[in-house]
Amino acid sequence: MSAGTTTSDAGPLAELTGDMPAEAEEPTRWAVLRRSGTFWSGTTIIGFWALAAIFGPRVVPWDPYATDLLHELAPPSAVHWFGTDQLGRDIFSRVIVGSRDILTIAPLATLLGTIVGTTLGLAGGYLGGLVDTLLGRIIEVLISLPLIIVALLALVALGLSSVTVVIVIGLVFAPLIARTVRAAVLGERALDYVAAAELRGESALAIMFIEIMPNVMGPILVETTVRLGYAIFTVASLSFLGFGIQPPSPDWGLAIAENYGVIAGGYWWTVAFDAAATASLVVGVNLFADGLHEALAA
Protein backbone atom coordinates (compact mmCIF):
# COMPACT_ATOMS: atom_id res chain seq x y z
CA MET A 1 0.00 0.00 0.00
CA SER A 2 2.97 2.32 0.22
CA ALA A 3 3.58 4.79 -2.54
CA GLY A 4 6.61 2.84 -3.60
CA THR A 5 4.58 0.03 -5.04
CA THR A 6 3.40 2.13 -7.94
CA THR A 7 6.88 2.72 -9.28
CA SER A 8 9.45 0.28 -8.07
CA ASP A 9 7.74 -3.06 -7.74
CA ALA A 10 5.99 -3.23 -11.04
CA GLY A 11 8.90 -5.05 -12.65
CA PRO A 12 9.78 -4.87 -16.30
CA LEU A 13 6.22 -4.09 -17.29
CA ALA A 14 6.67 -0.69 -15.66
CA GLU A 15 8.90 0.11 -18.55
CA LEU A 16 5.92 -0.03 -20.84
CA THR A 17 4.38 2.93 -19.13
CA GLY A 18 7.33 5.24 -19.60
CA ASP A 19 7.02 8.85 -20.44
CA MET A 20 3.81 8.89 -22.33
CA PRO A 21 0.47 10.32 -21.48
CA ALA A 22 -1.12 7.33 -19.79
CA GLU A 23 -4.59 6.57 -21.00
CA ALA A 24 -7.09 7.08 -18.21
CA GLU A 25 -6.79 3.56 -16.93
CA GLU A 26 -9.51 1.79 -15.02
CA PRO A 27 -8.03 0.94 -11.63
CA THR A 28 -7.33 -2.76 -11.63
CA ARG A 29 -8.55 -3.07 -8.03
CA TRP A 30 -12.14 -3.10 -9.18
CA ALA A 31 -11.29 -5.78 -11.70
CA VAL A 32 -9.77 -7.91 -8.94
CA LEU A 33 -12.79 -7.30 -6.72
CA ARG A 34 -15.23 -8.14 -9.50
CA ARG A 35 -13.51 -11.45 -10.15
CA SER A 36 -13.10 -12.36 -6.47
CA GLY A 37 -15.23 -15.33 -5.49
CA THR A 38 -14.41 -14.73 -1.84
CA PHE A 39 -15.73 -11.21 -2.02
CA TRP A 40 -18.96 -12.20 -3.76
CA SER A 41 -19.69 -15.10 -1.36
CA GLY A 42 -19.27 -12.71 1.54
CA THR A 43 -21.40 -10.05 -0.08
CA THR A 44 -24.14 -12.58 -0.80
CA ILE A 45 -24.29 -13.78 2.81
CA ILE A 46 -24.26 -10.28 4.25
CA GLY A 47 -26.82 -9.18 1.66
CA PHE A 48 -29.12 -12.04 2.62
CA TRP A 49 -29.05 -11.12 6.32
CA ALA A 50 -29.40 -7.43 5.58
CA LEU A 51 -32.54 -8.14 3.53
CA ALA A 52 -33.77 -10.41 6.31
CA ALA A 53 -33.28 -7.62 8.82
CA ILE A 54 -35.13 -5.08 6.70
CA PHE A 55 -37.99 -7.11 5.27
CA GLY A 56 -38.00 -10.08 7.66
CA PRO A 57 -40.92 -9.03 9.86
CA ARG A 58 -43.13 -8.66 6.79
CA VAL A 59 -42.32 -11.95 5.08
CA VAL A 60 -41.85 -14.51 7.86
CA PRO A 61 -44.62 -17.15 8.10
CA TRP A 62 -45.19 -16.71 11.85
CA ASP A 63 -45.16 -13.86 14.34
CA PRO A 64 -41.74 -14.28 15.96
CA TYR A 65 -43.02 -13.03 19.29
CA ALA A 66 -46.24 -15.08 19.45
CA THR A 67 -46.07 -17.86 22.04
CA ASP A 68 -47.95 -21.09 21.47
CA LEU A 69 -47.85 -23.24 24.56
CA LEU A 70 -49.57 -26.11 22.82
CA HIS A 71 -46.74 -26.51 20.37
CA GLU A 72 -43.71 -25.90 22.51
CA LEU A 73 -40.42 -27.61 21.54
CA ALA A 74 -41.91 -28.98 18.32
CA PRO A 75 -39.23 -30.48 16.04
CA PRO A 76 -38.65 -29.05 12.53
CA SER A 77 -41.60 -29.85 10.30
CA ALA A 78 -43.45 -28.56 7.26
CA VAL A 79 -45.36 -26.17 9.52
CA HIS A 80 -42.51 -24.96 11.70
CA TRP A 81 -39.49 -25.30 9.40
CA PHE A 82 -36.91 -24.93 12.16
CA GLY A 83 -39.22 -26.18 14.93
CA THR A 84 -40.38 -24.16 17.95
CA ASP A 85 -38.74 -23.10 21.21
CA GLN A 86 -39.75 -23.58 24.85
CA LEU A 87 -42.55 -21.03 24.49
CA GLY A 88 -43.71 -22.49 21.19
CA ARG A 89 -42.39 -19.57 19.13
CA ASP A 90 -41.51 -20.35 15.50
CA ILE A 91 -37.71 -20.60 15.33
CA PHE A 92 -37.46 -19.96 11.58
CA SER A 93 -39.26 -16.65 11.92
CA ARG A 94 -37.20 -15.74 14.98
CA VAL A 95 -33.89 -16.52 13.25
CA ILE A 96 -34.84 -14.37 10.26
CA VAL A 97 -36.04 -11.43 12.35
CA GLY A 98 -33.26 -12.02 14.88
CA SER A 99 -30.73 -10.47 12.51
CA ARG A 100 -32.26 -7.06 13.14
CA ASP A 101 -30.74 -6.04 16.44
CA ILE A 102 -27.30 -7.50 15.84
CA LEU A 103 -27.12 -5.93 12.37
CA THR A 104 -27.94 -2.55 13.90
CA ILE A 105 -25.73 -2.67 16.98
CA ALA A 106 -22.61 -4.33 15.54
CA PRO A 107 -22.20 -1.99 12.53
CA LEU A 108 -22.92 1.08 14.66
CA ALA A 109 -20.32 -0.02 17.20
CA THR A 110 -17.82 -0.69 14.40
CA LEU A 111 -18.55 2.70 12.87
CA LEU A 112 -17.95 4.42 16.19
CA GLY A 113 -14.74 2.45 16.69
CA THR A 114 -13.56 3.34 13.17
CA ILE A 115 -14.22 7.04 13.58
CA VAL A 116 -12.54 7.28 16.97
CA GLY A 117 -9.73 4.89 16.02
CA THR A 118 -9.00 6.62 12.72
CA THR A 119 -8.85 10.01 14.41
CA LEU A 120 -6.49 8.72 17.08
CA GLY A 121 -4.35 6.87 14.56
CA LEU A 122 -4.07 9.92 12.30
CA ALA A 123 -3.21 12.14 15.26
CA GLY A 124 -0.62 9.73 16.66
CA GLY A 125 0.97 8.99 13.30
CA TYR A 126 1.04 12.55 12.00
CA LEU A 127 1.72 14.57 15.14
CA GLY A 128 4.14 12.05 16.61
CA GLY A 129 6.10 13.07 19.67
CA LEU A 130 4.34 13.19 23.02
CA VAL A 131 0.86 12.70 21.54
CA ASP A 132 2.01 9.51 19.86
CA THR A 133 3.80 8.20 22.93
CA LEU A 134 0.78 8.79 25.15
CA LEU A 135 -1.66 7.27 22.68
CA GLY A 136 0.66 4.35 22.16
CA ARG A 137 0.84 3.50 25.85
CA ILE A 138 -2.93 3.82 26.33
CA ILE A 139 -3.53 1.58 23.34
CA GLU A 140 -1.12 -1.03 24.65
CA VAL A 141 -2.88 -1.10 28.02
CA LEU A 142 -6.32 -1.43 26.43
CA ILE A 143 -5.19 -4.13 24.03
CA SER A 144 -3.73 -6.21 26.84
CA LEU A 145 -7.09 -6.36 28.66
CA PRO A 146 -9.51 -9.17 27.78
CA LEU A 147 -12.20 -7.69 25.57
CA ILE A 148 -15.28 -9.35 27.07
CA ILE A 149 -14.28 -8.61 30.68
CA VAL A 150 -13.73 -4.92 29.92
CA ALA A 151 -17.04 -4.78 28.09
CA LEU A 152 -18.85 -6.51 30.95
CA LEU A 153 -17.38 -4.16 33.57
CA ALA A 154 -18.22 -1.11 31.51
CA LEU A 155 -21.77 -2.32 30.90
CA VAL A 156 -22.33 -2.96 34.57
CA ALA A 157 -20.97 0.47 35.43
CA LEU A 158 -22.90 2.33 32.72
CA GLY A 159 -26.11 0.36 32.81
CA LEU A 160 -27.53 -2.06 30.28
CA SER A 161 -28.92 -0.67 27.04
CA SER A 162 -28.25 -1.01 23.33
CA VAL A 163 -26.67 2.46 23.26
CA THR A 164 -24.20 1.44 25.96
CA VAL A 165 -23.34 -1.73 24.04
CA VAL A 166 -22.57 0.35 20.95
CA ILE A 167 -20.44 2.79 22.91
CA VAL A 168 -18.58 0.14 24.87
CA ILE A 169 -17.73 -2.06 21.88
CA GLY A 170 -16.87 1.01 19.79
CA LEU A 171 -14.46 2.35 22.38
CA VAL A 172 -12.90 -1.04 23.01
CA PHE A 173 -12.25 -1.45 19.27
CA ALA A 174 -10.96 2.09 18.74
CA PRO A 175 -7.39 1.46 19.95
CA LEU A 176 -7.07 -1.62 17.73
CA ILE A 177 -8.13 0.37 14.69
CA ALA A 178 -5.94 3.29 15.80
CA ARG A 179 -2.90 1.06 15.80
CA THR A 180 -3.44 -0.10 12.21
CA VAL A 181 -4.18 3.41 10.98
CA ARG A 182 -1.15 4.84 12.75
CA ALA A 183 1.17 2.35 11.05
CA ALA A 184 -0.23 3.33 7.63
CA VAL A 185 0.02 7.04 8.45
CA LEU A 186 3.69 6.72 9.38
CA GLY A 187 4.44 5.58 5.83
CA GLU A 188 2.51 8.50 4.35
CA ARG A 189 3.95 11.05 6.69
CA ALA A 190 7.41 10.53 5.24
CA LEU A 191 6.20 11.41 1.73
CA ASP A 192 6.92 14.82 0.30
CA TYR A 193 3.30 15.81 -0.25
CA VAL A 194 2.95 16.17 3.51
CA ALA A 195 5.95 18.51 3.58
CA ALA A 196 4.45 20.42 0.66
CA ALA A 197 1.20 20.85 2.61
CA GLU A 198 3.10 22.10 5.65
CA LEU A 199 4.88 24.61 3.42
CA ARG A 200 1.47 25.84 2.25
CA GLY A 201 0.61 26.52 5.89
CA GLU A 202 -2.13 23.90 6.07
CA SER A 203 -3.47 23.17 9.54
CA ALA A 204 -2.71 19.84 11.19
CA LEU A 205 -6.36 18.83 10.85
CA ALA A 206 -6.39 19.58 7.14
CA ILE A 207 -3.20 17.60 6.63
CA MET A 208 -4.56 14.65 8.59
CA PHE A 209 -8.01 14.48 7.08
CA ILE A 210 -7.67 16.00 3.59
CA GLU A 211 -4.14 15.00 2.65
CA ILE A 212 -3.31 11.79 4.49
CA MET A 213 -6.65 10.10 5.17
CA PRO A 214 -7.64 9.46 1.52
CA ASN A 215 -4.38 7.57 1.07
CA VAL A 216 -4.92 5.29 4.06
CA MET A 217 -8.56 4.48 3.27
CA GLY A 218 -7.52 1.00 2.14
CA PRO A 219 -6.21 -0.19 5.50
CA ILE A 220 -9.05 1.62 7.26
CA LEU A 221 -11.63 -0.17 5.13
CA VAL A 222 -10.06 -3.58 5.65
CA GLU A 223 -9.67 -3.02 9.38
CA THR A 224 -13.30 -1.89 9.63
CA THR A 225 -14.66 -4.99 7.94
CA VAL A 226 -12.46 -7.27 10.03
CA ARG A 227 -13.65 -5.47 13.16
CA LEU A 228 -17.27 -5.83 12.05
CA GLY A 229 -16.83 -9.59 12.20
CA TYR A 230 -15.49 -9.34 15.72
CA ALA A 231 -18.24 -6.90 16.70
CA ILE A 232 -20.94 -9.34 15.61
CA PHE A 233 -19.30 -12.03 17.63
CA THR A 234 -18.90 -9.78 20.66
CA VAL A 235 -22.51 -8.58 20.57
CA ALA A 236 -23.70 -12.19 20.33
CA SER A 237 -21.48 -13.15 23.26
CA LEU A 238 -22.71 -10.29 25.40
CA SER A 239 -26.32 -11.12 24.60
CA PHE A 240 -25.69 -14.72 25.49
CA LEU A 241 -24.28 -13.57 28.82
CA GLY A 242 -27.33 -11.37 29.34
CA PHE A 243 -25.48 -8.08 29.03
CA GLY A 244 -26.29 -7.33 25.43
CA ILE A 245 -29.58 -7.30 23.64
CA GLN A 246 -32.45 -7.79 26.03
CA PRO A 247 -35.60 -10.00 25.79
CA PRO A 248 -38.03 -10.38 24.15
CA SER A 249 -35.85 -9.68 21.11
CA PRO A 250 -35.41 -12.77 18.89
CA ASP A 251 -31.67 -12.03 18.86
CA TRP A 252 -29.54 -15.10 18.16
CA GLY A 253 -27.24 -14.86 21.15
CA LEU A 254 -30.16 -14.27 23.43
CA ALA A 255 -32.06 -17.20 21.92
CA ILE A 256 -29.12 -19.51 22.49
CA ALA A 257 -28.93 -18.33 26.12
CA GLU A 258 -32.65 -18.94 26.63
CA ASN A 259 -32.60 -22.42 25.14
CA TYR A 260 -29.25 -23.99 25.76
CA GLY A 261 -30.59 -25.58 28.95
CA VAL A 262 -32.83 -27.88 26.94
CA ILE A 263 -30.24 -29.15 24.43
CA ALA A 264 -29.48 -32.04 26.73
CA GLY A 265 -33.11 -33.16 26.28
CA GLY A 266 -32.48 -33.61 22.52
CA TYR A 267 -34.05 -30.31 21.48
CA TRP A 268 -31.05 -29.38 19.32
CA TRP A 269 -33.06 -27.22 16.95
CA THR A 270 -33.65 -24.62 19.63
CA VAL A 271 -30.04 -23.43 19.38
CA ALA A 272 -28.54 -24.98 16.23
CA PHE A 273 -30.15 -22.57 13.76
CA ASP A 274 -29.34 -19.48 15.82
CA ALA A 275 -25.74 -20.64 16.19
CA ALA A 276 -25.50 -21.36 12.45
CA ALA A 277 -26.96 -17.93 11.66
CA THR A 278 -24.38 -16.19 13.87
CA ALA A 279 -21.57 -18.22 12.34
CA SER A 280 -22.73 -17.57 8.78
CA LEU A 281 -22.83 -13.83 9.33
CA VAL A 282 -19.35 -13.76 10.88
CA VAL A 283 -17.97 -15.93 8.08
CA GLY A 284 -19.70 -13.75 5.50
CA VAL A 285 -18.19 -10.59 6.90
CA ASN A 286 -14.75 -12.21 6.99
CA LEU A 287 -15.02 -13.38 3.38
CA PHE A 288 -16.02 -9.85 2.43
CA ALA A 289 -13.01 -8.48 4.33
CA ASP A 290 -10.63 -10.99 2.71
CA GLY A 291 -11.87 -10.14 -0.77
CA LEU A 292 -11.47 -6.45 -0.07
CA HIS A 293 -7.99 -6.98 1.31
CA GLU A 294 -6.93 -8.95 -1.77
CA ALA A 295 -8.25 -6.26 -4.09
CA LEU A 296 -6.57 -3.45 -2.18
CA ALA A 297 -3.27 -5.31 -2.16
CA ALA A 298 -3.42 -5.66 -5.96
Partner 1 sequence: MNAALSIEGLEVAYRARGREQRVLGGVSFTIPPGGSYGLVGESGCGKSTLALAALGILPRAGRITAGNIRIAGEDLLALDAGALRRLRARQVSMVFQEPARALNPTLTIGRQMAETYEILGVPRAEGEAHAAAMLGRVHIAAASRVMASYPHQLSGGQQQRVLIAMALAKEPALLVLDEPTSGLDATVEAEVLDVIATLRRELGTALLLISHNLGVVERMCERVGVLYAGMLVEEGPTEALFADPRHPYTHGLLRCLPAAGRRKAQGRLETIPGFLPAPGRRITGCVFAKRCRLADARCHKEAPLARDVGEHGGGHFSLCHYAERVADLSRETSVEPSPASDSPAPAKTELEIENLSKTYVTGGAHVRALSGVSIVLGTGETLGLVGESGSGKTTLARLLLGLTAPDAGGSIRLDGTRLEGAASGRSQAARKALQIVFQNPDSALNRAHTVRYLISRALGRLGGFRGVRREQRLRELLAAVRLEPQYLDRRPRQLSGGLKQRVAIARAFAGEPRIVVCDEPTSALDVSVQAAILNLLAELQRERRTSYVFISHDLGVVRYLADRIAVLYLGRLMEFGPAERVFRGPHHPYTEALLSAVPALRAEHARIRLAGEIPSPVDPPSGCVFHTRCPRKLGRICEREEPPLERMADHAIRCHIPRAELPAA
Interface with partner 1 (CB under 8 A), residue from 85, 211, 251, 274: 211
Q: Verify binding: residue 130, partner 1, rule CB under 8 A.
A: no
Q: Say whether residue 265 binds partner 1 (CB under 8 A).
A: no
Which residues, 6+ apart, have CB-to-CB distance to 51 below 8 Å? none
Q: How many residues bind partner 1 (CB under 8 A)?
A: 31
Q: In the window 131-160, what residues touch partner 1 (CB under 8 A)?
A: none
Which of 130, 157, 159, 192: binder of partner 1 (CB under 8 A)? 192
Query: Which of 35, 44, 198, 248 touches partner 1 by CB under 8 A?
Result: 198
* Closer residue to partner 1, CB minimum distance, 138 or 197: 197
DSSP letter for each residue of 14-67? GGGGSSS----PPPHHHHHHHH-HHHHHHHHHHHHHHHHHHHHHHH-SS-TT--
Q: What does the alpha-carbon distance between residue 115 and residue 4 come to, in Å, rounded to a whole number?
A: 27
Does 201 engage in binding with partner 1 (CB under 8 A)? Answer: yes
> Judged by CB under 8 A, does residue 22 bind partner 1?
yes
**Distance between CA atoms of residues 295 and 64, nearest Å:** 40
34, 79, 153, 193: residue in contact with partner 1 (rule CB under 8 A)? 193
Map residues 234-263 to x or -, x wherever contact with partner 1 holds by CB under 8 A.
Answer: ------------------------------
Residues whose CB is less than 8 angstroms from the CB of residue 227 and which lie 6 or more positions away in sequence, other chains included: 110, 113, 114, 173, 176, 177
Q: How far is the CB of 121 from partner 1 (least distance, A)?
A: 17
Burial (CB < 10 A; 0-12, 13-18, 19+), residue 21, is exposed
d(CA 103, CA 284): 13
Q: At residue 58, what are phi and psi to the nearest 5 degrees?
A: -85, -20
Residue 69 interacting with partner 1 (CB under 8 A): no
User: Among 38, 43, 180, 215, which residue interacts with partner 1 (rule: CB under 8 A)?
Assistant: 215
Q: What is the CA radius of gyration of the chain?
A: 23
What residues make contact with partner 1 under the rule CB under 8 A? 3, 6-7, 11-13, 15-25, 191-193, 195-202, 211, 214-215
